[in-house]
Amino acid sequence: MCALLLSNSVNRSITIYSDSEAALKAILTAKTTSGLVWETMIKLQSPSIQNRVRLLWNPGHSNIEGNEMADNLAKQAATTNFKGPEPVLGLSVTTVWNTVCQWSGQEQNRKLNDTQNCRQARQFLQNHNIRHAKYAVRLSRKT
């Protein structure tokens, strides 16, 4: 909202205070996976081109003008129903990757155990080990 209001400003020194250190660090990183952080970065680009924009951290509840109102608005927003494309609780890429790999392994084992044929393959693969699978994939097919 701040960035939208300041998008028409020219040659000004703009300081935006936040009591969320995590949010400021996320905005300042070179790579982001969060849609909300990406959207914030894009919104801050326009005023940053023609102005000097600084993002500063201030401790919460420190009697800085506007901070108490922002805190009350944040509390009000926290009690309303969530609306938006992102999950309410973000998941790291590692968590999603591990969950998908675990599900994939379980699904492969289930399908292998449900089949009536492939007796030797089932016997060979009964103890699924990712290191063994990677080793087998790297073996030459020519020998």
Q: Tokens 């009690």 identify what position?
A: 79
Is residue 35 located within the same domain as residue 72? yes
Count of structural domains, the chain: 2
Q: 100 and 72, same structural domain?
A: no
* Residues 36, 86 contacting (CB under 8 angstroms): yes
Cα 30 to Cα 94: distance, rounded to the nearest angstrom = 19
Write out pLDDT tens, residues 122-141. Answer: 777 666 677 777 787 888 88
Kindly provide the residue ranges of all beta strands, DSSP E only, lying in 13-92, ordered along the sequence: 13-18, 52-57
Instruction: Clarify whether residues 65 and 97 are in a common domain.
Output: no
The parent domain of residue 25 ranges over 2-79
Which residues are CB-contacts of 54 (< 8 A; sequence separation ≥ 6)? Answer: 13, 14, 15, 16
101 and 61 both lie in a single domain:
no
| Interval 78-127: pLDDT, tens | 787 767 666 666 677 788 888 888 888 788 778 877 888 877 777 776 66
71 & 100 share domain: no
Please tell me the pTM assigned to this model: 0.45
Length of the chain, in residues: 143
Q: Residue 85 domain-assigned?
A: no
